[in-house]
Amino acid sequence: MKKLFTLLFLATSMICFGQNKNFLKEVESINFYGVDYSAAKVFGAAETPAQFKVAFDGINRLFITEAKKYDVSKKLKVRVNEISLDAVNQVNEAIDPQELMTTNASYMLSEDQIKQIVNALPTQKKPGIGLVIIAKLLNKAEAYGSYQVVFFNTETKEIIQDWATGGKARGFGLRNYWAGSIHKVIRNL
């Protein structure tokens, strides 16, 4: 039964990825904002919320320091005008440590919550397409991070396209462990 459920999930996600990327054929370039952890929850981890906040900052810096490994442009086949981490750094810095951990292993974000997160990103009102990866649940018990990939109009904050995705966490150290799930998400773009 578990294998059947996994197969069904994989087949559904492959269909979703194929449908959602069609709009990129008409896009010349995007602005990439990194990973927004502002509404994320952590399940089953022994580390402290403060340690996670440091790891979140470190994961986003990987888009600059390890640009070849975390190359969004290459996977999307669309030029990235800029990697602007200032917006996600601001919202990630404001994460309430008391709200980060959860005992709910099925935590999800609604469509309205996704819209609110995009609206809260302090981006410049330049015309164009933005891309942000929104973290939802970092489940240590399952070694899996779930995310929402969101393309949006940078002027109006209107969501153009989004889809749920995730990746297996792996690596040594807190930052690298969860960066492994981000790397998998980027490989699946």
- Residue pLDDT, tens place only, 73-100: 999 999 999 999 999 999 999 999 999 9
- Asked if residue 36 lies in contact with residue 134, where contact means CB atoms within 8 angstroms, the answer is yes
121-136 burial code (b ≥16 CB/10 A, e <16): bebeeeebbbbbbbbb
**Mean pLDDT value across the chain:** 90
Which pLDDT belongs to residue 3?
42
What is the number of other CB atoms lying within 10 angstroms of the CB of residue 116?
13
Nearest to residue 104, comparing CAs of 82, 56, 136, 134?
Answer: 136
Nearest to residue 51, comparing CAs of 161, 138, 158, 147?
Answer: 138
- Asked if residue 157 lies in contact with residue 118, where contact means CB atoms within 8 angstroms, the answer is yes
Which pLDDT belongs to residue 22?
79
Tokens of 141: 């018990």
Give Cα separations from 80 to 9, 17, 31, 40, 72 (angstroms): 30, 20, 6, 25, 8
SS3 5: helix
Which pLDDT belongs to residue 27?
87
Which pLDDT belongs to residue 26?
85
Instruction: State the average pLDDT over residues 41-66.
Output: 98
- Domain, as residue range, for 183: 2-187
- Asked if residue 36 lies in contact with residue 121, where contact means CB atoms within 8 angstroms, the answer is yes
Please tell me the pTM assigned to this model: 0.89
What is the domain count for the chain?
1
Confidence of residue 10 (pLDDT cuts 50, 70, 90): very low
pLDDT in tens, 110-166: 999 999 999 999 988 778 999 999 999 999 999 999 999 999 999 999 999 999 999
Which pLDDT belongs to residue 20?
59
pLDDT in tens, 35-46: 999 999 999 999
